[in-house]
Structure 1
Amino acid sequence: MNAINRSDASIEKKETVMNKILGAISGSFAPILGVLAGSGLISALLSILTTIGWLSAKGGTYAILSAAGHAIFYFFPVFLGITLALKLGANGYVGGAIGASLLEPHFTDLVASKAQDVTFLGIPVILANYSSTVFPILIAVSIYAVLDKFLRKVIYKDLQMFVNPLISLAVIVPLTVLIFGPFGTYVGEGLAVVVHFLSSKSGILTGAVMGAAWSFLTILGLHWAIIPIFIANLATGGDPLSPMIASAPFAQMGMGLGVFLKTRDKDLKTLAGSGLVPSALAGTTEIITYGLLVRYKRTMPIVAIAGAVGGAITGALGVKGTAFALPSFLSIPVFIPTGLFLIGTLTALVIALVLTLVFGYEGKSGAVPAKTVKEFGLANVKRETILSPLSGEIVPLSEISDPLFSTETVGKGIAIEPANGEVISPVDGTVTTLFPTEHAIGITSVDGAEILICIGVDTINLKGQFFTSQVKQWDTVRKGDLLIQFDIEKIKAAGYDVKTPVVITNTNQYVDVVPATDGKVQAKDELIRLVV
């Protein structure tokens, strides 16, 4: 339940404006990060096939695969409009329609015509190409979410289904074309100019800073503020930042390989080895980041030094990214010149490997607790049936407005529209996570299942109002024990949806997570079957 524990820690921080902005950006990018990376790998594959002469860039096969690889980037305002609207609690389809309006043929024809006298109600329009852009839709949908919240308060409920989208589209789309779009475009272009200026003045310094800092920005969640710059730069011909930061994950791979070779602890070797495979093939370094880098402090300066050297090299050599891709061995062709990119990233990998082998990672034993091994999906689990913690109506996770649940980012499971305000334990086990706001609880069963029960959507904002926990963290519980009581009517009156996701956060340890029922369910009925 590692991801949930990190979220739990963050709840205690004061929610500043910056935290809210970063939260919105991360919540909007997280659901589509996988398809972004997959599309980038298609571009990398096409680059390899055309380079070795197996595929012609003028043929139909190339065109079709290129369409698959580039589609999400061209229609990025649509996808980002959907995910950001959902994250902000607004209608995702209206958010998508706002993005789509910027790519609709009537509008793109105006842009292509380069007409100088286009107006809207007599107001001059600054025409721009919004395909692949990020900042215009971020601004537009953020304003739409505010408008939507206002409309929900003033429009009669039975009319909201069509009146709210009508007003929202009629107001936000023109404002986007007149104000938000040009402003967002200038912001994106301005950031790109700054990045290119820094790179041209001192690619070495820029690369060293980015390569050293990226791993730690990721741990803090601050990397989400930089990812939009990558994508905005791609729309202007190439991104110099992504090759610089690529040295950081390659440095983590080198450190992970060093730990794997150096340690004699079986569990730690398993943890390091399990982290190397997804890092090398897909660029997903979470196991190394949170299993090794965060735990073993001696690895931090190693990764920082190696990342700085590798980033400085790629920055000095003027390497650029041609598509969005998580840095890995499979995505190498995305970065050009490829040979120069390899010099920087492999240098980072080798330096981190050597430093780890020479100086070690921490302490004498290097043992890793069983808890850490379990957090990263390396422990054994058993076939199990999870009982329902609530009575109510079964709801698919896809209907939950929080994308972390609707996209199964947290894990597979099901949701329940509760009929009463009591949550019971669905298993025999231990309370491993209890949020300070008491709106969510995590339980690890005796057979290894990690269950997260989150009462309502965005109810964390209630700061514990209307929730009363009957247990404490690390309590041992039995099936049917009362965990939390909550006041459904008061939560609804405060404007919150009470649909309650019940998800298996260690889904990756099971062959399948299968709902055991649909329709109405009673507490203690079979709810989810875990297949091993």
Structure 2
Amino acid sequence: MKYKDLAKDIVQNIGGEENVTNLIHCATRLRFNLKDNRLPDKEKLKSLEGVLSVVESGGQFQVIIGNDVAHVYQEIVKTTKLGMGNAVSADADQPKEKILSRIFAVISGSLSPLLPAMAGAGILKAFLTLFTTFGWVSAESGTYLILAAAANAVFYFLPIFLGVTAATKFGANPYVGGVIGAALMEPNFTGLLANGDKTSFLGIPVVLMDYSSTVFPVFVAIWIFSYVEKYLKKIIHKELQTFLVPLLSLVIIVPLTAMIFGPFGVYIGNAIADAINYLMGVSGLLTGAVIGGLIFFLVVFGLHWGIIPIVLANLSNGTDPILAMWAASNFAMAGVALGVFLKSKEKTLKSIAGSSTLSLLLAGVSEPTVYGILLRFKRTMSYVIIAGAIGGAINGGFHTYATAFVFQNIFSIGAFKPVSYYLIGIAAAMGIGLVLTILFGYQDKKAVSVTEASAEGPAAEVQAGPSKASSKPTGGSPILKKEVLLSPLTGEVKSLTEVPDPAFAEGAMGKGVAIVPSIGQAVSPVNGTIGTILKSGHAVILQSESGAEVLIHIGINTVQLKGQYFSPRVKAGDQVRKGDLLIEFDLEEIKEAGYNPITPIIISNTGDYLDVIETTNSWVTAQDKLLTLVV
């Protein structure tokens, strides 16, 4: 197969490069998001040598290639601008998402790369708090200050990091995005604050603010920058784009951020502060419920800093009630994070949840929980709202207050009065958050449908129809050879026609059978070699010693889990024997997440055989006879 020619023909018949908004690939399919789904010539695409089928589903136009898909994809990337800067995650069907979901997806996607740094820094802050509390390290010592720099850097310089990750998410130049964020932290800019809170740009008044640790202004700036960059690339000659596009982008976006996006955040913060003061005058119980239940939304957008001046002003007069109400939200999040830690069986998520819990309890740092758990599993937000509102109402109703500005953690409990009521409030918040997470889970439910099924992923899409009776060579000569494949799974046997995916059900890539597993283990059905195992762990391709190419694809659409709940036990090139463990997976968590676990087992080189005969049993145990390949 000439991959370069095939790549060119596919792009041409898909409606051209300009008709593609996004391109990704899985183990067997090219997945296009198109501007106009009427432009592709389906029949021409199906007739191309190397194209097995064409499927439209889940908002994607899918060209099924088979095991050579990666080579074709690479040729498309080499010869076009597709597949690199404009690729989004495989689970994104953005045009059909609600606007709020899209906003949260952008925020979470931009901040998730920073989670390891945030989690590590949060734990370091917790240890520093512990060391200073017990007098092991002086807060004025060089040791403390050096470690504090490491702990605070990711939060203080968040606009810079966020400029990089948000630009990547929006498909813009990430380094220019980082420079936009860095401009807000540059000494010449921050030095303007020393002369007051106002300055001017070309005679236009500019309201100044401290952008350290902020989120919202940078998101807006980078979002606008992504459109500015695209427009500039359209109107500027290609030879001049290298320096002119970033030059004009910086000249346009940085002043706009200082004049509009930043002050907008300030005004929103002030409006929120006024609303809080009004509520406090009406009812402490009501105010506590509102602050405890909803303040984490302000953290999401970086607007919680607008409340700090009110807190400081209150403390300058003696005490502050807001921090006590706010604490309920932190401890509610700690309860949810602890619940996820206890309930999850996926190592990466468990690590994030554990470090997030410690970060909140020991340091009062909530960002790892907000960006690593709440925005990722949106149903957990409701738990935080309920638990935080109840805890906040308790603290507000009993008129608890802070005597100093502190991060709300277990070491700062002594800064709140009356301590007994404060403890009741935060304990209630944490306990309710924990119980709700344990009882109702953290995964967002998704309906499994044919549409979702065909949007599955990297590993495997294959065949279908019921098997025929065994074929014999002309003249009634005996069967030359049979190869028996054992079942890799324990579960109920289904025909491929029952798999909710056209590519499997229409037999585009070979014959086989499907199993609805009852145990979360896949073992080798043959003696042979691992050809490919997806990073996401949900699919594997083996080659038997006799030459059969066997594809095992665990679940439909499970690529969207991005490896969650899957633990591969082999790697490409490994030699395996029948019964060797290939993949472990958490069956219950996969189903709870809304994914259909039905698993196609496909002979992808079906053309090399006279027939592929299925077992007649309706139930198999791993290592039972499953398929007979007739040569």
TM-score range, shorter chain: 0.5 to 0.7
Q: Over residues 478-532 of structure 1, what are the superposed CA-to-partner deviations in whole Å (9 max), with x where a residue is unaligned?
A: 47579xxxxxxxxxxxxxxxxxxxxxxxxxxxxxxxxxxxxxxxxxxxxxxxxxx
Distance in 2, matches of 1:426 and 1:112, equals 70
Task: State the shift of 1:76 in Å.
Answer: 2.0
Residues 1:426 and 1:205: Cα distance change in structure 2 (over 3 Å): farther
Secondary structure at the counterpart of residue 269 of structure 2:
helix
Residue 247 of structure 1 contacts residue 345 of structure 1 at CA under 8 Å; is this kept in 2?
A: yes
Structure 1 counterpart of 2:556, one-letter code:
T
Structure 2 counterpart of 1:447, from 564, 579, 582: 582
Matched, 1:32 2:114: yes
Matched, 1:228 2:310: no
Structure 2 counterpart of 1:433, one-letter code:
I
Structure 2 counterpart of 1:52, from 127, 134, 140: 134
State the match for 2:330 in structure 1: 246
State the match for 2:230 in structure 1: 149
Report 1:261-340 matches (<5 A): 280-281=357-358, 307-315=388-396, 316-318=399-401, 332-333=410-411, 337=415
Question: Rg bigger for which structure?
Answer: 2
More RCO (CA 8 Å, sep 6+):
1
Structure 2 counterpart of 1:132, from 195, 200, 213: 213
Q: Over residues 20-54 of structure 1, what are the superposed CA-to-partner deviations in whole Å (9 max), with x where a residue is unaligned?
A: 33322222222223433433333332222222211
State the match for 1:429 in structure 2: 552
Structure 2 counterpart of 1:67, one-letter code:
A
Distance in 2, matches of 1:114 and 1:276, equals 42
Task: Using structure 1 for the length normalisation, give the TM-score.
Answer: 0.55
Distance in 2, matches of 1:385 and 1:337, equals 63
Q: Over residues 226-250 of structure 1, what are the superposed CA-to-partner deviations in whole Å (9 max), with x where a residue is unaligned?
A: 4523355468767747522234345
Residue 134 of structure 1 contacts residue 228 of structure 1 at CA under 8 Å; is this kept in 2?
A: yes
Distance in 2, matches of 1:432 and 1:190, equals 48
Task: State the shift of 1:379 in Å.
Answer: 6.4
Residue 337 of structure 2 contacts residue 356 of structure 2 at CA under 8 Å; is this kept in 1?
A: yes
Residues 1:108 and 1:389: Cα distance change in structure 2 (over 3 Å): same
Task: State the shift of 1:60 in Å.
Answer: 1.0
Distance in 2, matches of 1:120 and 1:350, equals 51
Matched, 1:70 2:193: no
Residue 126 of structure 1 contacts residue 178 of structure 1 at CA under 8 Å; is this kept in 2?
A: yes
Secondary structure at the counterpart of residue 556 of structure 2:
strand
Distance in 1, matches of 2:102 and 2:328, equals 27
Residue 234 of structure 1 contacts residue 323 of structure 1 at CA under 8 Å; is this kept in 2?
A: no
Residues 1:232 and 1:171: Cα distance change in structure 2 (over 3 Å): same
Matched, 1:474 2:598: yes
Distance in 2, matches of 1:22 and 1:288, equals 12
Residue 210 of structure 1 contacts residue 308 of structure 1 at CA under 8 Å; is this kept in 2?
A: yes
Residues 1:277 and 1:428: Cα distance change in structure 2 (over 3 Å): same
Residue 247 of structure 1 contacts residue 311 of structure 1 at CA under 8 Å; is this kept in 2?
A: no
Residue 121 of structure 2 contacts residue 150 of structure 2 at CA under 8 Å; is this kept in 1?
A: yes
Count of aligned residue pairs for this structure pair: 381
Secondary structure at the counterpart of residue 447 of structure 1:
strand
Where does structure 1 lack aligned partners over 5 or more consecutive residues?
218-222, 261-266, 363-369, 372-377, 391-409, 414-424, 451-471, 483-532
Q: Over residues 169-212 of structure 1, what are the superposed CA-to-partner deviations in whole Å (9 max), with x where a residue is unaligned?
A: 12111222233332333233433443465456545334435656
Q: Over residues 445-502 of structure 1, what are the superposed CA-to-partner deviations in whole Å (9 max), with x where a residue is unaligned?
A: 772267xxxxxxxxxxxxxxxxxxxxx98351347579xxxxxxxxxxxxxxxxxxxx
Where does structure 2 lack aligned partners over 5 or more consecutive residues?
1-57, 59-88, 313-321, 361-367, 442-489, 492-518, 539-547, 569-580, 586-595, 607-631
Residues 1:289 and 1:237: Cα distance change in structure 2 (over 3 Å): closer
State the match for 2:181 in structure 1: 99
Structure 1 counterpart of 2:264, from 177, 183, 200: 183
State the match for 2:244 in structure 1: 163
Residue 49 of structure 1 contacts residue 55 of structure 1 at CA under 8 Å; is this kept in 2?
A: yes
Q: Give me the CA root mean square deviation.
A: 5.6
Task: Using structure 2 for the length normalisation, give the TM-score.
Answer: 0.47
Distance in 2, matches of 1:187 and 1:247, equals 25
Structure 1 counterpart of 2:114, one-letter code:
I
Distance in 1, matches of 2:598 and 2:249, equals 47
State the match for 1:220 in structure 2: none
Residues 1:42 and 1:16: Cα distance change in structure 2 (over 3 Å): same
Q: Which moved more, 1:199-208 or 1:154-163?
A: 199-208
Residues 1:353 and 1:30: Cα distance change in structure 2 (over 3 Å): closer
> Whose helix fraction is larger, Structure 1's or Structure 2's?
1
Q: Over residues 227-280 of structure 1, what are the superposed CA-to-partner deviations in whole Å (9 max), with x where a residue is unaligned?
A: 5233554687677475222343455478789x99xxxxxx99x9xx99996675
Residue 139 of structure 1 contacts residue 180 of structure 1 at CA under 8 Å; is this kept in 2?
A: yes
Q: Percent of counterpart pairs with the same letter?
A: 36
State the match for 2:71 in structure 1: none
Structure 1 counterpart of 2:330, one-letter code:
A
Distance in 2, matches of 1:136 and 1:70, equals 20
Residues 1:55 and 1:172: Cα distance change in structure 2 (over 3 Å): same
